[in-house]
Structure 1
Amino acid sequence: MKYLITVIITIVACIALMITIQVNPNTQMTETIEDKVIVSNEAVEAVIIDPYALDHIKFELVEYSQLPEGNVYTVQLKNESKHTIVQNNVYLYYPIITGENSRTTNKCKVEMTGNKLNIAPGESVLLTAFYPKDNFVDQIAIASGDPELEIQGYLNELSIYHHFGKMGAIFDDPKGLINPDDK
């Protein structure tokens, strides 16, 4: 009986919530079927965020230098999405090798410099990171030849509903700057 009452209360609460959500009639919902609708906490206006937008935030390695003190990376962040990237942070790190063909994230990350608060659609930003050798020399379990990136930020506005994160081997090295033998 308790279970039935809980289910009924949950259903009534969901119906009440659906009734209180009012979508702004001026909001254009002309996006493709794959789009996801995120409704703000105030339940006033529906906001369309393309779930594939992260696939259109790209990184390309532009320059790589090995110095006695460490490695320097210059990466171009390209916003090819239709959303503005707001208040983002980009980090570079070397993953930890946990076994054959397996890795995990390294908590020792370096924040890239040269970033902007707002990166408009179609805009690019040049980012630089210096990764000191002290962070990876004599570390057998560090994949220092395969750096990875992490980006945390927001799409369009600074709101919990617009937060995104992306990490891993997510940048292109078309010139073979890190591993020339791979190209």
Structure 2
Amino acid sequence: MKKRILMAILMILIVGIGMVMKLDNFNNNSMNEEVITSVKDFIPSEPMIKVFNGSVANKGSVDVIDLITDNNIQIRSFNHVAGIVKVCEINEREIKVTHTHGGAGLFAESYLNEESDFEFTLLKGPIKKGTKWSNHENSVYEITNTNVMLKILAGTFDTIEVTCRHGDDGAKDYHESKAYYAKGFGIVKTEDEKNVSELIKIDYNLKQLKSAKDVYQLLEQSKKEVKSEPVDEINKIEITIMNMNDLPEGKSFKLKLKNGTNHLIKQNDVYLSFPIKNKDGNGYITNLCKTEATHNKLDILAGEEVILNVFIPIENYINNDLLDIDDPQIEIKGYFDKVKIENRFQRIGDTDFFSDH
């Protein structure tokens, strides 16, 4: 009996030590290589409807992400001309289109098990500046930036930039385009010499779509809605660091949140983190290890100011030269006026970003 008890105690100690080691590794390397380079992070995290402005003839487009598995994702894309179903294969190293179906197809119909008849790589790892790939002769795709903060109508997104170059530089047929990917959402913006297309709305109610007609009605309604709600309104949310104290146990921050919009801010959350320096010295990466501010309010009136507090334990940053502890990053997410998916907003950036509008 004593031997069994002793063995049980030893097992608990071994598991406990393992957990401590894992936690210590997470605190000191909160954005390890695997997290940073996972291509899977840059697909939509759940089924959703993405509405874009611009696109063909500046009439907008809609992507309906209706099926997601561990290895595949199905996207129904619509513009004012036609619709197409795309099946993408996803893994830790790349996202590539493997099957296309002309027309929007029947809603709720799956094409995930169709044989591959197409191969086009959208994104390839590792996620770092300089990663290149090619889909056909005389075209090169390259990750040209891993830290682009985009302020668009659907919100503020921390993105990576992929540049596609067609033809030889300087030649008549040379063409360049860019696509911006955000974690959990996929593409949020595309642009070339003639067109710019940006995400203007995210909707999670897929049940409202029964046919292509419903998609086009949603597109037209969304374009009307965003005209009355410019992105500048979101950028009127100010967050400043009033003071920072170095304590033996860690760093404490006092923040001031000012609602400079004309809306009621509901159920917001504010986080502070230390951004991670890229190993190649090119910019920063958002740190997934973030601390939520305390003393927040469920409802913040237009023009109201709220004082928040954040404490970051010293073990979260000590002896980690990759963290920029002198320039914290702040994130706020919440809702305007009512807690509805279409009213959700998010902003991420440093303190200059939150005071520059």
TM-score > 0.5, shorter chain as reference? yes
Q: SS at the partner of 2:311?
A: strand
Which structure 2 segments of 5+ residues have no match?
A: 1-83, 85-101, 107-210
- Tell me how far apart the structure 2 counterparts of residues 16 and 89 of structure 1 sit (CA, whole Å): 32
- Tell me how far apart the structure 2 counterparts of residues 110 and 95 of structure 1 sit (CA, whole Å): 12
Amino acid at match of 1:37: E
- Tell me how far apart the structure 2 counterparts of residues 59 and 16 of structure 1 sit (CA, whole Å): 37
* 2:213 counterpart (14, 17, 21): 14
Paired position in structure 2 for 1:62: 242
Alignment pair present for 1:94 and 2:274: yes
Amino acid at match of 1:150: E
How far 1:36 sits from its partner (Å)? Answer: 6.1
Seq. identity, %: 32
Paired position in structure 2 for 1:50: 230
Deviation sequence 1:16-72 (CA, Å, 0-9, x none): 9649x99xxxxxxxxxxxx9615xxxxxxxx94332212100011112111111111
Paired position in structure 2 for 1:170: 351
Amino acid at match of 2:308: L
8 A Cα contact 2:241 2:351, kept in partner: no
Alignment pair present for 1:85 and 2:283: no
Residues 106, 17 of structure 1: CA spacing in aligned structure 2 closer, same or farther, 3 A cutoff? closer
Structure ranking higher on relative contact order (CA contacts 8 Å, 6+ apart): 1
How far 1:13 sits from its partner (Å)? Answer: 3.7
Paired position in structure 1 for 2:329: 148
- Tell me how far apart the structure 2 counterparts of residues 61 and 36 of structure 1 sit (CA, whole Å): 37
Paired position in structure 2 for 1:73: 253
Paired position in structure 1 for 2:290: 109
How far 1:138 sits from its partner (Å)? Answer: 0.6
Alignment pair present for 1:37 and 2:225: yes
What RMSD over aligned residues (CA atoms) do the two structures have, in Å?
3.2
Amino acid at match of 1:170: T
Which structure 1 segments of 5+ residues have no match?
A: 23-34, 39-46, 175-183
Count of residues in Structure 1 that have an aligned counterpart in Structure 2: 149
Residues 36, 81 of structure 1: CA spacing in aligned structure 2 closer, same or farther, 3 A cutoff? farther
Q: SS at the partner of 2:324?
A: coil
How far 1:15 sits from its partner (Å)? Answer: 7.4
Paired position in structure 1 for 2:109: none
How far 1:172 sits from its partner (Å)? Answer: 7.8
